[in-house]
Structure 1
Amino acid sequence: MQSWQMQNAKARFSELVKHAAQEGPQDITLHGKSVAVVLSRELFDRLSGNEQSLVEFMRASPLAGHDEIAFERDRGPGSLPREITF
C-alpha cells in the first residue's frame, strides 16, 4: 500500500484517487502516523456488502411476500401498543 503524507495527499488528490482505483488502497499519514485509507468505490462496496440495492436486499428476505407480520413490542414502562401489524 502506497503511503501519502496529508499535505501531499491534499495537493495531489486526483492522483491519489486514481492510484486507489488502479493500484488499491492508499494510506494517508499525519505526523508519521496512519490516519486514513483511500480506496476505490468498487473495493468499498465489495468490503461493505453494498453490492446490492436496499430493494434487492428486502426482496431476498425470507419474510418477503408475507402479507401480515406481527412484531412483539417491549412491555416495559413507556412502551407503545403491544403489537404492530403490517
Structure 2
Amino acid sequence: MQSWQMQTAKARFPELVKHAVQEGPQDITLHGRSVAVLVSRELFDRLSGNEQSLVDFMRASPLQEHDGIEFERSCSLPREITF
C-alpha cells in the first residue's frame, strides 16, 4: 500500500484517487502517523456488503412469488429479567 503525506494527498488528490482505483488502498499520513485509507468505491462496496440493495435482495428471494405465506408466532411468555 502506497503512503501519502496529508499535504501531498491534498495537492495531488486526483492522482491519489486514480491510484486507489488502479492499485488498491492508499494510506494517508499526518505527522508520520497513519490517519486514513482511501479505497475505490468498488472495494468499499465489496467490503461493506453494499453490492446489492435490499430491494434487489428481496426480489431475488425464492419466496418472492408466494403471496400466501403465513408465519407462526410463538405464544410462549417472554423470559423473566432479574436484576
Q: How many residues are aligned here?
A: 74
Runs of 4+ in 1 over 4 A off after TM superposition: 60-70
Written as runs of structure 1 = structure 2, the 5 A alignment for 1:9-48 is 9-48=9-48
Letter in 2 for 1:33: R
Written as runs of structure 1 = structure 2, the 5 A alignment for 1:1-86 is 1-60=1-60
Alpha-carbon distance between aligned partners in 2 of 1:69 and 1:46, rounded to the nearest angstrom: 34
TM-score (norm 2): 0.71
Identity of aligned residues (%): 79
Letter in 1 for 2:8: N
Distance 1:14 1:67, change over 3 A: farther
Distance 1:26 1:69, change over 3 A: farther
Once the two structures are TM-superposed, the CA of residue 4 in structure 1 deviates from its matched residue by: 0.2
Once the two structures are TM-superposed, the CA of residue 49 in structure 1 deviates from its matched residue by: 0.7
Q: Which secondary structure does the structure 2 equivalent of 1:50 belong to?
A: coil
Specify every segment of 5 or more residues in structure 2 that has no aligned partner in the other structure, as ranges.
74-83
Distance 1:24 1:62, change over 3 A: same
Distance 1:68 1:16, change over 3 A: same
If asked which structure has higher relative contact order (CA below 8 Å, sep 6+), I would say 2
Which structure: greater strand fraction? Answer: 1
